[in-house]
């Protein structure tokens, strides 16, 4: 503003010091007047040019002292930025007109109009430059020292190759260009978003050369990047240089949609200094990768072939023929094949292979496997680092199955003391010979309910409980086992007490019983009726095969009539009655909806906290208070999602995207079969 006022000085001096003439009639001067009349326009133009040069000199000196910044604008604020210049130009034009005109009234009007417009222009410039000279905008001026925070995405996807090099290389070039343009004495933080193979710090660099060296050392790592982690790192980095209030945060990466959910970032971004997001990505990416690789059921045994499942995905513009796939186990290639892929296709491939490694019963051996893809002539695939997936899985000599009954190891067949699970144990693992028994597919663990512990269950594929009077204190442990994918079968018989089981194992749907049990059984055994002297009241009933359509009851290569006859051979005298009603189902639905809602809220909160903890650990600011908070949250996580089952493995799950009400309905008990009661 002072420069604008000073620039008006030459105009005012010019107007005040104009030569004043008294009109004197002098015949000798008539000839001179005619000569001057011819040169008057030239002289006026010369004076005007000199006036403009003087004004321009003063104005440029004022602007040089103020160092204004002009940034790229949008149509919304373009008019706001250019109107003071337009009004100032019009004011200058009116001032020139006032100088040149010889009509007094016009001269006065032009002078007044020029002063008024000059005042409006001054107000516009004051508002414009006041906003631009804020602390944050001083950073953009390229003149004042700033604290620049550069965060580079170095996740696996940044290794994508283009004609100009990898995406990470392009991001580095843009970052280096930004660093070169920073003003002197600036602080620069260079942060690899996904970490580094070597240790790195959030401390800011004092020189551009050090920052460029740190930039060159960033490499692609096999980790995932998230917007939440980037924001957390940016916040922590900004705290490292409190003496510089001017901050500039720049994110450089491919900004994949799955990792940068814009809807959930608004609140976090509001707490950051003004930032710039530089997207570095391929225009039409072409890639083939292995998105998932697993072994069915998460475990293998040495007696039967194991099923390996791999998912291959393809993006691009053209179909790919003869894509080579290969499965290796412990470094040995066991299967190769070729497949054809279409753009946007997700293809599941399956292969059965019998893993042969020395394994002892009860002691799993861990084996590594690799599944890879390779396009013909390396076409249609510009990211090679995601072409393989590795897997480590346990191999067992026999699948552990836990049988729990009223006797356990105290069972004595010769003395007639037989546990309720004995028939099923003999059926699954018959004793044909000592050698064959040592190589049984099923490894039997026969215990009582009091002997049950986590170590017994951690590698078990199935738990069968039969003839146990009450589950006692084992319900929480068994529920965790089921939550992790373990299979639990509960049968009556023996000392089974339905009243005690309902009391201990129902827990309003939070136990291991799908529904409560009636304390009164249906029917009676011949022994009970004989003791009571009412053997004539004996009732015999069968399974209703018409209700047994679940795959559990359908044997492969068996005809329905044969199955019906086979199931009718099994006779029942006594059965426990399940109390299944609409009221119980409504109560279960309400309880499960509440539980799943609380679980989802906790998991979302835990994910945010985990991102914050990871950021602090990378920065070295993870203090004992954070450690205590994390330990407490980890304990809560283990209660919501226990992770002690050895063969449990991660799966791509869409449960978090489903409505809670729908998930709750999926947990409701289902009747698989009924008795044919006369």
Give CA–CA dist 549/434, Å, rounded: 38
- Lowest average pLDDT, out of 158-162, 429-433, 504-508, goes to 429-433
Give CA–CA dist 625/606, Å, rounded: 16
* Ramachandran sector of residue 383 (left: φ over 0; alpha: ψ -120 to 50; beta: rest): beta
**Strand-by-strand arrangement of the 300-301 sheet:** 300-301, 388-396, 365-374, 320-329, 332-341
Three-state DSSP state, 616: helix
Q: How many helices (H) and strands (E) does the chain have?
A: 19, 22
Q: Looking at the predicted structure, is the pLDDT value of residue 361 above 50? A: yes
Neighbours of 291 (CB within 10 A): 13
User: Contact at 8 Å (CB) between 339 and 385?
Assistant: no
**Which residues, in sequence order, are CB contacts of 660 under 8 Å at separation 6+?**
593, 596, 597, 600
Give CA–CA dist 153/280, Å, rounded: 10
Question: Which pLDDT does position 477 carry in this prediction?
Answer: 95
Distance from the first to the final alpha carbon of the chain: 103
* Ramachandran sector of residue 507 (left: φ over 0; alpha: ψ -120 to 50; beta: rest): left
User: Contact at 8 Å (CB) between 305 and 327?
Assistant: no
Q: Which residues pair with 253 in a beta bridge?
A: 279
Cα 18–chain centre separation: 76
Question: Which pLDDT does position 300 carry in this prediction?
Answer: 84
Buried b / exposed e along 34-52 (16+ C-beta atoms within 10 A): eeeeeeeeeeeeeeeeebe
User: Contact at 8 Å (CB) between 576 and 498?
Assistant: yes
Assigned token pair, 159: 């290794």
- Burial, 413: exposed, middle or buried (Cβ in 10 Å; 0-12, 13-18, 19+)? exposed
Assigned token pair, 276: 């710039």
Degrees to nearest 5, angle at CA 566 with 560 and 567: 90
Enumerate the domain spans of the chain.
Answer: 2-133, 139-279, 287-396, 398-512, 583-676
User: Contact at 8 Å (CB) between 370 and 317?
Assistant: no
Give CA–CA dist 216/453, Å, rounded: 53
Q: Looking at the predicted structure, is the pLDDT value of residue 258 above 70? A: no
**Which residues, in sequence order, are CB contacts of 256 under 8 Å at separation 6+?**
157
The Cα-based distances of 474 to 448, 470, 477 in angstroms read 11, 10, 5
DSSP 363: B
**Which residues, in sequence order, are CB contacts of 520 under 8 Å at separation 6+?**
577
> How many residues belong to the chain?
678
Percent of the chain with pLDDT over 90: 23
**Strand-by-strand arrangement of the 399-404 sheet:** 442-447, 399-404, 462-466, 487-491
Assigned token pair, 241: 């240089």
* DSSP H or E run through 348: strand 346-353
Q: Looking at the predicted structure, is the pLDDT value of residue 644 above 70? A: yes
Give mean pLDDT, residues 431-438.
50
Domain 139-279: CATH class, spelled out: alpha beta
User: Contact at 8 Å (CB) between 79 and 23?
Assistant: no
Beta 147-152 vs 247-253: how paired, if at all?
parallel
Question: Which pLDDT does position 266 carry in this prediction?
Answer: 62
Question: Which pLDDT does position 83 carry in this prediction?
Answer: 73
> CATH assignment of 287-396?
2.60.40.10
pLDDT band at 350 (very low <50, low <70, confident <90, very high): very high
Q: Looking at the predicted structure, is the pLDDT value of residue 447 above 50? A: yes
The Cα-based distances of 7 to 53, 122, 124 in angstroms read 10, 12, 16
Give CA–CA dist 340/318, Å, rounded: 11
Give CA–CA dist 101/116, Å, rounded: 19
User: Of 319, 368, 308, whose CA–CA distance to 343 is shortest?
Assistant: 319
Give CA–CA dist 240/187, Å, rounded: 10
Percent of the chain with pLDDT over 70: 79
Mind listing the pLDDT tens digit for each residue in 303-339? 778 899 999 999 888 888 889 999 999 989 999 999 9
CA atoms within 13 A on the CB side of 614: 17
Mind listing the pLDDT tens digit for each residue in 84-124? 777 777 777 777 777 666 667 877 787 788 788 877 777 77
Question: Which pLDDT does position 106 carry in this prediction?
Answer: 76
Assigned token pair, 114: 């020029």
Which residue blocks in 357-432 are alpha helix, DSSP H?
422-428
User: Of 77, 76, 86, whose CA–CA distance to 120 is shortest?
Assistant: 86
Beta 332-341 vs 165-166: how paired, if at all?
unpaired
Give mean pLDDT, residues 199-214.
85
The Cα-based distances of 169 to 140, 225, 382, 477 in angstroms read 25, 17, 14, 52
Mind listing the pLDDT tens digit for each residue in 47-78? 777 777 777 677 667 666 655 544 444 444 55
Question: Which pLDDT does position 14 carry in this prediction?
Answer: 65
Mind listing the pLDDT tens digit for each residue in 327-337? 999 989 999 99
Q: Looking at the predicted structure, is the pLDDT value of residue 628 above 50? A: yes
User: Of 38, 77, 282, whose CA–CA distance to 166 is shortest?
Assistant: 282
């Amino acid at each position: 503003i002072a420069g604008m006022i000073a620039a008006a000085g030459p105009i005012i001096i010019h107007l005040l010091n104009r030569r004043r003439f008294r009109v004197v009639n002098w015949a000798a001067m008539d000839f001179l007047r005619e000569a001057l009349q011819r040169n008057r326009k030239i002289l006026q133009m010369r004076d005007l040019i000199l006036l403009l040069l003087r004004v321009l000199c003063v104005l440029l000196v004022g602007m040089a002292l103020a160092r204004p910044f002009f940034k790229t604008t949008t149509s919304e604020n373009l008019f706001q930025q250019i109107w003071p210049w337009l009004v100032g130009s019009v004011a200058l034009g009116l001032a020139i007109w006032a100088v040149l005109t010889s009509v007094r009234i016009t001269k006065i009007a032009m002078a007044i109009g020029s002063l008024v417009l000059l005042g409006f222009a001054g107000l516009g410039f004051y508002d414009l430059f006041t906003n631009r000279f804020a602390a944050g905008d001083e950073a953009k001026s390229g003149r004042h020292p700033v604290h620049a925070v550069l965060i580079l995405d170095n996740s696996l996807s940044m290794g994508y190759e283009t004609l100009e090099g990898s995406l990470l290389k392009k991001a580095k070039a843009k970052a280096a260009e930004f660093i070169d343009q920073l003003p002197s004495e600036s602080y620069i933080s260079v942060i690899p978003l996904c970490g580094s193979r070597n240790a790195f710090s959030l401390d800011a660099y004092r020189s551009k050369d050090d920052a460029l060296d740190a930039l060159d050392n960033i490499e692609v790592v096999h980790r995932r990047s998230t917007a939440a982690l980037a924001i957390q790192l940016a916040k922590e980095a900004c705290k490292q240089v409190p003496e510089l209030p001017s901050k500039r945060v720049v994110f450089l990466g491919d900004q994949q949609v799955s990792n940068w959910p814009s809807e959930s970032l608004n609140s976090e971004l509001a707490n950051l200094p003004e930032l710039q997001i530089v997207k570095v990505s391929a225009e039409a990416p072409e890639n083939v990768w292995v998105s998932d690789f697993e072994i069915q059921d998460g475990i293998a045994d040495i007696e039967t072939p194991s099923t390996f499942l791999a998912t291959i995905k393809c993006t691009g513009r053209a179909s790919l023929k003869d894509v080579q796939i290969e499965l290796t186990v412990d470094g040995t290639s066991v299967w190769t094949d070729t497949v054809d892929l279409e753009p946007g296709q997700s293809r599941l491939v399956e292969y059965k292979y019998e893993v042969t490694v020395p394994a002892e019963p009860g002691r799993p051996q861990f084996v590594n496997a690799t599944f890879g893809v390779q396009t013909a002539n390396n076409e249609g695939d510009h990211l090679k680092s995601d072409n393989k997936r590795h897997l480590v899985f346990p191999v067992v000599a026999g699948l552990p199955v836990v049988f729990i009954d009223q006797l356990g190891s105290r069972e004595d067949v010769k003395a007639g003391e037989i546990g309720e699970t004995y028939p099923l144990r003999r059926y699954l693992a018959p004793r044909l010979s000592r050698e064959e028994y040592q190589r049984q597919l099923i490894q039997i663990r026969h215990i009582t309910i009091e002997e049950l512990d986590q170590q017994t269950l951690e590698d078990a594929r199935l738990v069968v409980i039969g003839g146990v009077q009450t589950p006692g204190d084992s319900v929480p442990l068994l529920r965790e086992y089921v939550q992790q994918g373990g299979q639990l079968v509960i049968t009556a018989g023996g000392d089974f007490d339905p009243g005690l089981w309902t009391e201990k194992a129902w827990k309003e749907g939070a136990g291991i019983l799908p529904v409560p049990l009636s304390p009164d059984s249906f029917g009676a055994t011949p022994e009970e009726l004989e003791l009571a002297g009412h053997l004539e009241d004996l009732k015999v009933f069968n399974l209703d095969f018409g209700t047994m359509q679940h795959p559990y009851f359908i044997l492969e290569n068996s005809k329905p009539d044969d199955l019906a006859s086979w199931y009718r051979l099994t006779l029942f005298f006594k059965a426990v009655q399940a109390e299944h009603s609409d009221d119980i189902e409504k109560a279960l639905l309400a309880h499960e909806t509440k539980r799943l809602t609380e679980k989802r809220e906790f998991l979302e909160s835990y994910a945010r906290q985990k991102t914050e903890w990871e950021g602090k650990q990378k920065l070295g600011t993870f203090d004992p208070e954070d450690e205590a908070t994390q330990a407490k949250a980890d304990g809560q996580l283990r209660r919501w999602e226990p992770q002690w089952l050895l063969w449990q493995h991660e799966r791509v799950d869409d449960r978090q995207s489903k409505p809670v009400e729908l998930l709750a309905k999926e947990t409701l008990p289902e009747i698989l079969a009924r008795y044919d009661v006369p």
